[in-house]
Chain A
Amino acid sequence: MSEAGQGKKDAGNGGEDPRYKGIDRVLKRLQFKQDGLIEVLTAAQEAFGYLPEEVMIYVARQLKLPFSWVYGVATFYHFFSLKPQGKHNAIVCLGTACYVGRANDIVDAISKEYSVEPGHTTPDGELTLTTTRCLGCCGLAPVVVFENQVLGKETPEGTVGKIRTVLAGGSLGTVAAGQVEEASAT
């Protein structure tokens, strides 16, 4: 970016929005090294829930990288999302063991029930349906992650039932006590 390096902070964003603080902290820790781009983007996504364009522009300026470079990296990795995510996220594992256990039927069932394609969010912003490649819990296949809990040995009806309960304001209860820890690069 041609104006890269001008001014340490972009007053418009960096000054006010507290969410930029998390990004700044990581930037400082990495001493503004360009090699740290993925870590910075991870922090940004944690702060914002996704990667809005302004945030990518901000990161590009701070690291003195072209915007296209940052955009290229952000779109390459599956973890980064350029669109806001739903309030709840149902992640269906499609690893081999889950595939053999017919996880596809679970995806289809959720997809049909909420008219949402994998990778998309319902129009009301309530539910995002995501598929992933192997969470490494193959002994519990098929596996679904919902409300940050790993649910094992799922069935299409069972999963849809749990989603329905949670969307209606209920909780998963103690179906599975396992809490997946937040992915964090720090």
Chain B
Amino acid sequence: MRQQELMEMAQNERDRQSKYRCRLLCCASTPCISSGALAVEEALKKAVEAEGLQAEVETVATGCLGPCSRGPLVTVRQQGRSDIIYEGVTPQLASKIIDKHFKGQAAPELEKQAIPEDWPFFAKQTKLVLAESGNVDPEKIDSYLAQNGFTALLHALREMTPEEVCAEMGKSGLRGRGGAGFPTGVKWDMVRKAPGERKYVVANGDEGDPGAYMDRTLMESDPFRVLEGMAIAGYAVGADQGFIYVRGEYPLAAKRLEKAIRQAERKGLLGSRILDSNFNFRIDIRMGAGAFVCGEETALMQSIMGRRGQPVPRPPFPANRGLWGSPTLINNVETFGNITTVISKGATFYASYGTEKSKGAKIFALAGKVNNTGLIEVPIGITLREIVYDIGGGIPGGRPFKAAQTGGPSGGCIPAEYLDVPIDYETLQKLGSIMGSGGLIVMDDQSCMPDVAKFFMEFCMDESCGKCGPCRGGTVQMHRILDKITNGSATMEDLDRLQELCMMVKETSLCGLGQTCPNPIYSTLRYFRDEYEAHIKHHQCPAGVCQFTEKPLKIAVA
């Protein structure tokens, strides 16, 4: 395909869309589907047909809008008017939408479901990566092209050298969204300069952190953006083969990506001689089979090669020796989602968001004890208070905020006294947590902190791959002590032992899983030590979660 054809196709689709007086956008991502979105979409289509409105009204299944607990969501987009979004739509309400908007009938039960235009949940967000999520049909490439899809790739191929693309990434200040926040420009340049005949690009969509689903949503809602980002990366580092590693629990994401790849190949936007250049790039999907540790980059590469997903020591880094011994670029799916924005709007525009050292916006999965749960994208540097109280709408029942957990099993808790610090990579690290991939779980006074630590330790214990001793054995022992603390059989010596173990596992484990798994303990001990002591000394659980069924063993000292 040539540039002109691309432009024409985009224009045709825009013309086609503008023929409709109204478009009904029906969110069809996993959470809305589980609340019944497919039945709603059916009902909308039927109602449109029943009224003979097919030529004027189009029903489209789109990606995620964000407020997942309120699904199914339907957006009514009428020309020349601002969008109206309805929450909790049922098939019955769906026909009311037609009644109200096309037949002028009053529908009070529907009006109750309209989300107010100035709802802070939306107003406080900055959508860079999710800009088209909920807007485009993730299963139709034309829909993406109409929003200037693949023009960033075109621009990179025509106007920029690979060096310039890497430099632009560096200038944008984009940092990896997979957790560690490694500067993306630096990584790309390393792979570009690495000697090797073949190179690979890998998108990490394993997203194992419990409570996080940003990557799934992006893959489900705007798969073409991820593919375009990967293709630009392939051009920048000199790779002709890409892989997306999709977590096994995400069949819908895999299905949509698969479809997207086929469509892009058919249009010559992936494959050989892309957009009439000399650049060839193919993308294949690899499905995970349920192993958290496969999110770790070296383990992930083992898994792509069909082996047990066990990490290998670094160096050599994947940038030098990765898949089949060749230089490999691994980035998170969300990182790839940022690429088109950087290229098409420019590094300077991108860097205008965020803080001095952390640029752009970050997607968070807001969950737990907040009124509005869902997926949000906020400029880095926003405060936790704005997220929890403005976007999240506070805690149900007006209960007090106790802590927010970020970074999953590698992260920690941020207590109430830090509600007003800016959320960025450095600040979170100073507070003993990490940015992580973007899970943000809010806890109220009914969560018991030693029990939370135990929850994450159980996770790490189950998911430890067993290759290195400190992690394999250490997680079991740490879990045992936490179990003792929460059942009443621990002594203060156990607490000291726990801290020793934390240090040992952190310092001597092979990969990030072991090195970071003590973090939830460190951070809960740092801010909630009194809770641990209440458990051990007084057999009291301030949150009322733990049952003290055991007693400490009395060892008679001779």
Please give the residue numbers on chain A whose beta carbons come within 8 Å of chain B beta carbons, in ascending order: 34-39, 41-42, 72-73, 76-80, 94-97, 99-100, 132-141, 143, 149-152, 174, 176-185
Contacts and interface: CB of A to CB of B under 8 A. Distances in A.
Contacts of A35: 304-306
A184 B251 contact: yes
A178 B42 CA distance: 13
**Nearest 10 A/B pairs, CB to CB:** A139-B68, A136-B213, A78-B290, A96-B211, A150-B34, A77-B289, A178-B34, A95-B210, A138-B367, A97-B367
A139 B249 contact: no
Contact of B368 (A100, A133, A149, A176): A100
Contacts of B290: 77-79
Nearest to B294: A77
Contacts of B309: 76-77
Given A97-B373, A140-B34, A76 B308 contact: yes
Contacts, number: 157
B374 A38 contact: no
B408 to A, nearest CB: 7
Nearest to A93: B210
Contacts of B69: 139-140
B31 A38 contact: no
Contact of B210 (A41, A94, A151): A94
Contacts of B434: none
Interface of B: 30-31, 33-39, 67-71, 207-213, 216-217, 248-252, 254-255, 286-292, 303-310, 365, 367-369, 373-374, 405, 408, 439, 441, 443, 447, 455, 459, 463, 465
Contact of B38 (A37, A78, A94, A178): A178
A170 to B, nearest CB: 20
Nearest to B466: A76
B251 A183 contact: yes
Nearest to A101: B368
Contact of B209 (A100, A134, A141, A185): A134
B306 A176 contact: no
Contacts of A140: 31, 34-35, 68-69
Given A96-B368, A177-B38, A136 B30 contact: yes
Contact of A138 (B211, B289, B463): B211
A171 B250 CA distance: 25
Contacts of B373: 97, 138-139, 141
A181 B259 CA distance: 15
Contact of A79 (B30, B211, B248): B248
A97 B516 CA distance: 21
Interface-centre pick from B31, B289, B408 (highest chain A CB count, 10 A): B289
28 contacts: A34-B306, A38-B306, A39-B287, A41-B289, A77-B288, A95-B210, A96-B408, A97-B210, A97-B211, A100-B367, A100-B368, A100-B443, A133-B459, A134-B209, A136-B213, A136-B217, A137-B30, A138-B367, A138-B373, A140-B34, A140-B35, A178-B33, A178-B34, A178-B36, A178-B38, A179-B38, A183-B248, A183-B249
